[in-house]
Structure 1
């Protein structure tokens, strides 16, 4: 009997296991029509439900050998369903693209960007990035139209945010921090930014008050996500400035996918429009790839790789710059001899793995390496003549210099080389608790920076036959009336060799909570970051330093008829020094430079409404920053040189307003206005304007089309910034030079004829193979404004005067562009 009972129990157990095992799994990724992942969608199969995560990924078990209807729904999208009959233990890939549909609940419009709206993040559509014209088109080109973002250099991808500089901005691609070259000194050397626009699926930007999960920088966060391909497709772009090609690949079982992009750019068209006549042969090229692998329903892997090579060969010939007044016009004429050869070779690779332990717990593992080899070599002789211009119309010498106020020459030399290797290892965790009302996020990161740098620069200035001694020597000289008897030395001289290693440990933890406050909705985010680092190297032995940065956000959505939210965010933001911030103006490294500290306070209002029965949004923000341990610096074009002594305090305050919406049905446009003021106080000497004190900003991004010719699209990108402090001669006291450059005004326009796209179909047979096809004309600097980036300082021994000669940017330029999607 006992044996019979045991056999019966064993039979029931085996039968039960058999019944349990008779299931299959459905997994996949949910995307919207712009190939962006859809989070928190509900997947239902019978009595079972599941949710999609922030990457759009979901998985759900269904009965095997039975027809089951899987329904996918989200409040912002149309429902989708599919009927499946799967075998036992079968894994089925179901990737779905949902069409957007805003549904009204009472008086509140629920949209897909709700979470980012709560966090105060600005989202930019990838389609917009590809279409809007600009001398350096891409993500950064769009950012420069946003309030609080400032730039007066159309050739550069660098931007300053709310009083910060170019080194104070975080950039992530797929949650992996990316870096820019170290030795760049002018925008025309940059060529390509890291981000390949054709591979982008989502762009988020925060100009301040961002959460603790983002890194240790003072000003902003740009968070970019590359898309996961769902089918085979190709794209090609070509223009007079270069071209690109992108390919999406997907395996038959949907486990593997790959997107690869190749780009080439040549800035000759733009640089040759400047006043300096040159022989210019640049080549900027890169190849970038992302490989995705779904190992199982719980494990996802991806690899992101990039190889970039920039070769900048520049041989200036002549230059004439006219300035002064109508009554007293002056010109600077320069004849050059020599050349500049700069090269930048960059390798970047990163592996990311996501483990979805269960619906409420997720882990991410990220490892990356960045290697750059850079050289900056030049020997350029400039012989100049400064004088008055002949303004007599009809004169044979009209427009030429007829009376010289000063003549001289300048010889500049550099042999700068840098090799840097940066390695990162990071783990992140995400916990969803209390039925989606509360989340906990945390992360730990190790970074090692190994930098080998040699800098050799000198400059010799001769004015009217007399060599000017270095101002650092502070030796009075009365040439030509009194012979100079001091030591012979170049006007500027920097020579240093630095081998530096920096080890960093950083981490963060933050808590998100959603609740009700009476009839209003309340969101709270609170967190903190910690960062420990030590700088070592040849003849360097820095002390270990630790900083702690608490941050918080409070968001309330009143139960009003108007769809409005209010946000208060801020905290202590600290930026441990990167290598550039450790190196002073003499090229020497100070290993004990402290982290710059900034207390942020941001108060904002986000108001969504309808006008002309079309969606609009008005975002207003006021902010204040109090900075200490400030590492002061000078900017020459885009090159930043720090004093590396933390000898100043500073403050920033301002306000930003942005109105965006469908001014033209079916297109997104926006207006933005910003005001800021930032000053610093070095060693208690009093407040002076910081190099990024750009007071007033106006930006416009506008799209339109011709009703009579709907195939013709029009795009306008307009930026106006008041003038920056013009900088000072090298090694001069900034308290003695507070001149400002003229206001920056620029308008870029694009006109495109669309043969075919999702909104414009064609019955012509030759167009059937294309998904998109357009041909356009772009006009850069449409109104031909003369914008200056810096000043050239010309000295004259006889008059003991220095003249600030503006270095003008590009003039009006035309470009032709072809876009193809297959």
Structure 2
């Protein structure tokens, strides 16, 4: 039996034995029609109940993964009934009912594994899954990469591409506040941590296309994060070989003031030292965040979000040996380094959000935020390489070492890049609700002030002669014929830019839910507009305007089957940000237009019970047609734009995800995605875009031992086909368009829960002080796959052939982890 189960776990991860009672939490504030809190409201389910306190607050543990009915009753008010609610294990679901003298029957929550069906096409992810699933860079983005249509082939990076877009095409919000990432990061191991602190997250919502007008102007996706508003005081610690974090939740006695604050530290040495390059690695990745809410009254709440992040990356590479090629013709690259990299990225974000509840139908919001980043890239690295064959004689003492050297050379990379960016936003939003109709609107002003100094160069010396750029003015027959042309860096950029951008944007959208011949029908129509002006020193002033209509419709037929059909789309624009204005030489082109994309997404969501457990099958077909495309190249995570609009492109594909309780009391899923995206630059014909990742397969699986349910297993698997990339400098993508190898990775986590869920201890036990306590281990890259993100290009002096030497990423790594909450 155990053998059969093991086979199923590693094949389809779906069918196991055992059952244990799991719980979720329903929480919120009960109000009356005057928006005043109601105390002593009786909240009951079939098996449990509680009362609201003097501030109207309640918290109720309910059974997870099965349909429940929750009733809110209070003397002098009619009952409010929340029907057919299913919550995932450990999910925290916030529900704030308004009791009236009229009868209320709340039945909009439909049976699904995640508690509710999202007619807007937004995927909702469990925060507990985000916190528990292992990964080299665990967090929200680690889970997103397991969704269909979301791709990343670099475990150290928190960046991701969605349905053919690049890293710059994704919107990220925290409590409706737009957040940004550093500009100059070029290597994933320099990134440090995600902006989002997973331990502070309450809700995670994600849209991979066809999103509503209330979201901003980007081409690909929206990640909408909600930080917690604590209901009680907690302290949480998370310790591992990769770093540590501490999170503190506090609530005042009168429940008016609540804060959640987190401090994180991360050190990637464990992961980086598993790579082929030996180095002295001394990184410091640390940040502090706080989210505070003060309820001045029932009508006015004020939120504050503050973050400080310090990423100090120091690396002194020493040596590297990479064996590549084929079994019949193995090759070896050995590199000896001198010098070091010293990069620093410091960011600060402060934001205030005022919420004014005019009445139970109308809410007004004002959001002010200021983001500041100072970034430095200082590096001087000399690399001397030897290219040769590999000794494959198993009996030889020098087995695996380089022989028959065919190329010797030196490469010197130097960078002195500095950037200072200040981004100010002020936003007004509002909404008005009448029965099932919702009107939402917003207006926003953004000021961007960028000061950038770009100085970097690459010099190459091959067997005693200087290698110049392969440009007509340097076209010589070296080394046979000496060259008298000046010594010029093989690849160099030198520019100073001062750029300011002023943006005015706004939106209005209308949603309605109604019944058509007993079928539930929901629609949302909206429009966005943006006007921006670019100016700066030695830059001509340029202004542009775009308007973006969007819409979504959904239909839930009155069938026995629980099914929803969705159609969404519109005209989407991405006005250029600073990096999109800067070409490969560092020159600013203020006339770069907004990239334009027509989205069309057709989706279906089918919920059903299998083995007496809930499952949901979600499928989407999508098509994008892009104009005014700003082409780019991608090296590791660094994007370099051409800064023009001379291309058009398209993307189409299909996404499929089966989500449910494969094992009772847990949530797992299997996702499959197909994508094809190509671009046509200057009518030269269509070729694959850098993000053309044809096939995606992802698995998230949770399990436990039936006899010992506190032993948990978390497993994620990713398979991505290779993307175009790794071309040498100056290569024409129409001539040289190869693909990197496929990306295959598995991360495994096993933990034991000492305290948590249904496991508690008496007051006289030393574990009573803990609300949660777990310990375990993680194995990253379980099968030790050799994945690569870029190639190093090395010349053979004799044949003048260039060899693509893969830059392998992290190998198998073991990590210990301890989590506690008290």
TM-score (norm 1): 0.90
In the alignment, structure 1 residue 206 sits paired with structure 2 residue 235: no
Offset at 1:34?
6.0
State the partner residue of 1:15: none
In the alignment, structure 1 residue 786 sits paired with structure 2 residue 792: no
Paired residues for 1:255-274 under 5 Å: 255-274=256-275
Query: How large is the RMSD of aligned CA atoms in angstroms?
Result: 2.1
Output the CA distance in 2 between the equivalents of 1:801 and 1:461: 16
Q: Are the aligned partners of 1:514 and 1:523 in contact in 2 as well (CA < 8 Å)?
A: yes
Residue deviations 1:359-407 (CA, integer Å, cap 9, x gap): 1111010000000000000000000011101111121221111101111
State the partner residue of 1:318: 319
Offset at 1:94?
2.0
Q: Are the aligned partners of 1:344 and 1:374 in contact in 2 as well (CA < 8 Å)?
A: yes
Paired residues for 1:168-567 under 5 Å: 168-433=169-434, 436-473=435-472, 475-567=474-566
Q: 1:500 to 1:675 in 2, by over 3 A?
A: same
Q: Are the aligned partners of 1:463 and 1:796 in contact in 2 as well (CA < 8 Å)?
A: no
Please, which runs of 5 or more residues in structure 1 have no aligned partner?
A: 1-31, 44-48, 51-57, 63-67, 85-91
State the partner residue of 2:168: 167
- The DSSP-based 3-state class of the residue aligned with 2:341 is strand
Q: 1:107 to 1:33 in 2, by over 3 A?
A: closer
Output the CA distance in 2 between the equivalents of 1:83 and 1:556: 36
Output the CA distance in 2 between the equivalents of 1:252 and 1:724: 55
Paired residues for 1:80-95 under 5 Å: 82=51, 92-95=54-57
Q: Are the aligned partners of 1:459 and 1:490 in contact in 2 as well (CA < 8 Å)?
A: yes
Output the CA distance in 2 between the equivalents of 1:42 and 1:366: 26
State the partner residue of 2:122: 121
- The DSSP-based 3-state class of the residue aligned with 1:269 is helix
Residue deviations 1:293-350 (CA, integer Å, cap 9, x gap): 0001100001110011010000000001110000100010000000000011111100
Output the CA distance in 1 between the equivalents of 2:797 and 2:675: 39
State the partner residue of 1:718: 717
Q: Bigger CA drift: 349-358 or 396-405?
A: 396-405
Q: Are the aligned partners of 1:605 and 1:619 in contact in 2 as well (CA < 8 Å)?
A: yes
Offset at 1:601?
0.4
Residue deviations 1:710-753 (CA, integer Å, cap 9, x gap): 22111101100001112322332111221111110000000101
Q: Are the aligned partners of 2:52 and 2:58 in contact in 1 as well (CA < 8 Å)?
A: no
Offset at 1:275?
0.2
Q: 1:489 to 1:157 in 2, by over 3 A?
A: same
Offset at 1:761?
3.1
Output the CA distance in 1 between the equivalents of 2:819 and 2:30: 37
Offset at 1:36?
7.4
Offset at 1:102?
3.3
Offset at 1:798?
3.1
Please, which runs of 5 or more residues in structure 2 have no aligned partner?
A: 1-21, 70-82, 85-106
Q: Bigger CA drift: 176-185 or 791-800?
A: 791-800
State the partner residue of 1:695: 694
State the partner residue of 1:70: 41
- The DSSP-based 3-state class of the residue aligned with 1:141 is helix
Q: 1:366 to 1:107 in 2, by over 3 A?
A: closer
Q: Are the aligned partners of 1:35 and 1:227 in contact in 2 as well (CA < 8 Å)?
A: no
State the partner residue of 2:68: 102
Offset at 1:286?
0.7
State the partner residue of 1:820: 820
Offset at 1:37?
6.3
Offset at 1:35?
6.5
Q: Are the aligned partners of 1:108 and 1:563 in contact in 2 as well (CA < 8 Å)?
A: no
Output the CA distance in 2 between the equivalents of 1:511 and 1:577: 28
Q: Are the aligned partners of 1:696 and 1:721 in contact in 2 as well (CA < 8 Å)?
A: yes
Q: Bigger CA drift: 535-544 or 110-119?
A: 110-119
State the partner residue of 1:651: 650
Q: Are the aligned partners of 2:37 and 2:55 in contact in 1 as well (CA < 8 Å)?
A: no
State the partner residue of 1:802: 802
- The DSSP-based 3-state class of the residue aligned with 1:142 is helix
Output the CA distance in 1 between the equivalents of 2:270 and 2:611: 42
Output the CA distance in 2 between the equivalents of 1:365 and 1:415: 40
Output the CA distance in 2 between the equivalents of 1:516 and 1:290: 40
Output the CA distance in 2 between the equivalents of 1:83 and 1:543: 57
Q: Are the aligned partners of 1:649 and 1:681 in contact in 2 as well (CA < 8 Å)?
A: yes
State the partner residue of 2:35: 59
Paired residues for 1:569-588 under 5 Å: 569-588=568-587
Offset at 1:98?
3.5
Output the CA distance in 1 between the equivalents of 2:282 and 2:43: 54
- The DSSP-based 3-state class of the residue aligned with 1:749 is strand
- The DSSP-based 3-state class of the residue aligned with 1:542 is strand
Offset at 1:480?
2.1
Bigger radius of gyration among the two: 1
Q: Are the aligned partners of 2:25 and 2:61 in contact in 1 as well (CA < 8 Å)?
A: no
Q: Are the aligned partners of 1:385 and 1:404 in contact in 2 as well (CA < 8 Å)?
A: yes
